[in-house]
Chains A and B, each alone.
Chain A
Amino acid sequence: MSAFRLLIARDLRLAMRQGGDAAMVVAFFILTVVLFPFGVGPEPELLQRIAAGIIWVTALLAALLSLEKLFQTDYEDGSLEALSLLPLPLEFQVLAKCVAHWLVTGLPLTLVAPLLALLLHLDPAGYGALMLGMALGTPILSLLGAVGAALTLGARRGGVLLSLLVLPLYIPVLIFGVAAIEASIGGFGARPHLLILTALLVLASGLVPFAAAAALRQALE
């Protein structure tokens, strides 16, 4: 398992040194959310009503932004080929890359989310469900995104194609993430929705590595 940890550390170090990947994603997240009060008007009642949806949709888009580079740089400079020769199976490497990607994007997004909720006047009852939902949902975004990123390696117009492939798969996360917040504001309790998100996370982390590793193998052939 030390190779697994080393791979995570390597990706984190690369993210640090190339600088600002996390900062860019968070900046995009905040900026896009801030656009909404200008677009729909600053009435607190209206913003309160749509706050959950705005935050989740923007989080999806922000997570999508950084996906293209998940395997791209390793693919172009040849280190992906070197990594594929490691004794550590490619499936675990995919998982390690997803963990690193989540630490650089999903975790900061989760931490910034309550601040944005404050700006949008989200009902205080929804904060717990927002944080928990984001903590469970953003790893799913990284995992599903890894499949798309691996499939579009070397494709023409890879970035646009990636969003076309991945966004439909993100819809369930969006539905249950928002439903959890709405339910806890409405007083029903967010538990069932959070449990479904947990189930999705477990399923995705079990199945995604195989699909993404298969995609990487055919890209390396």
Chain B
Amino acid sequence: MFRFANPNRFMNWSGKLLPWCAAATAILLIVGTYLALFVAPPDYQQGEAVRIMYVHVPAAWMASFVYGVMAASSAVALIWRHPVADIAAQQSAPLGAGFTLLCLVSGSLWGEPMWGTWWVWDARLTSVLVLFFLYLGYIALVNAFDEPTRGARAGAILALVGVVNLPIIKFSVDWWNTLHQPASVFRIGAPTIAASMLWPLLIMAVGFTLFYVTLLLVRMRSALMAAKLRALRLQEFQAA
């Protein structure tokens, strides 16, 4: 882990990794979308609307996953003062907020024909909405200080406090009797989803994950470059 603490070394290997990640993302998302839209069968109850699931479910997984990444990097940044982990956490936040919004909007579009309502106040939906607000609060807090390191430190603590929400999201469908259906893929025993639907879903999920990794690397690289640029300008200033 400490080998990656050097920003120059990070720029080196991330530059080499980036094209591969981008290519894999493009292939997986194209294949996954094709399978989801044309190959996977329509559901016997939901009809064609089930295809929204191939976007909704990966987005929902990513919403929690990105928060997990953010919290883990925040912990690493707080404990070992790891500069690259700090940047990883900060640059993950807008991506996570985007995935959460996509999850909420796609779920809402699915809910209208299926449940007959755009929104219900059940435990799963409410806890994901709280997750969205946590992302927004984190972004606002990081940017609220004149001194960037203070913002980073305060944000890291907030990210760790917000972790309590993740198990609530995961288990909300088991603890409360909600309208949202319980898990059908990650559960004890075999998945209850048919294989013809599971495969497109998994390909989409891996595609979403790589999409996140690609965007994260791009954002981290540009943040590091911006910081270096600022330092160079300051040097020029002081020399003049």
Binding site for B on A (CB under 8 A): 147, 151-152, 154-158, 161, 164-165, 167-169, 171-172, 211, 214-215, 218-219
Contacts and interface: CB of A to CB of B under 8 A. Distances in A.
Contacts of B134: 168
Contacts, number: 55
Contacts of B133: 164, 167-168
A155 B153 contact: no
Interface string B100-144: 000000000000000000000000001000100110110011001
B223 interface: no
A32 B176 CA distance: 32
Contacts of B141: 151-152, 155, 161, 165
Given A172-B168, A211-B157, 12 more contacts: A152-B141, A155-B141, A158-B144, A165-B140, A165-B158, A168-B133, A168-B137, A171-B130, A211-B160, A215-B157, A218-B154, A219-B154
B137 A164 contact: yes
5 contacts: A156-B146, A158-B144, A161-B137, A161-B144, A168-B137
Interface string B144-186: 1110001001100110110000001000000000000000000
Contacts of A219: 150, 154
Interface residues of B, number: 20
Contacts of B130: 168, 171
B154 A215 contact: yes
A211 B163 CA distance: 12
Contact of B144 (A147, A155, A168, A215): A155
A167 B78 CA distance: 25
Nearest to B130: A168
Given A155-B145, A164-B133, A164-B140, A218 B150 contact: yes
A141 B147 CA distance: 29
B134 to A, nearest CB: 6
Given A164-B133, A218-B154, A152 B160 contact: no
B161 A211 contact: yes
Nearest to B136: A164
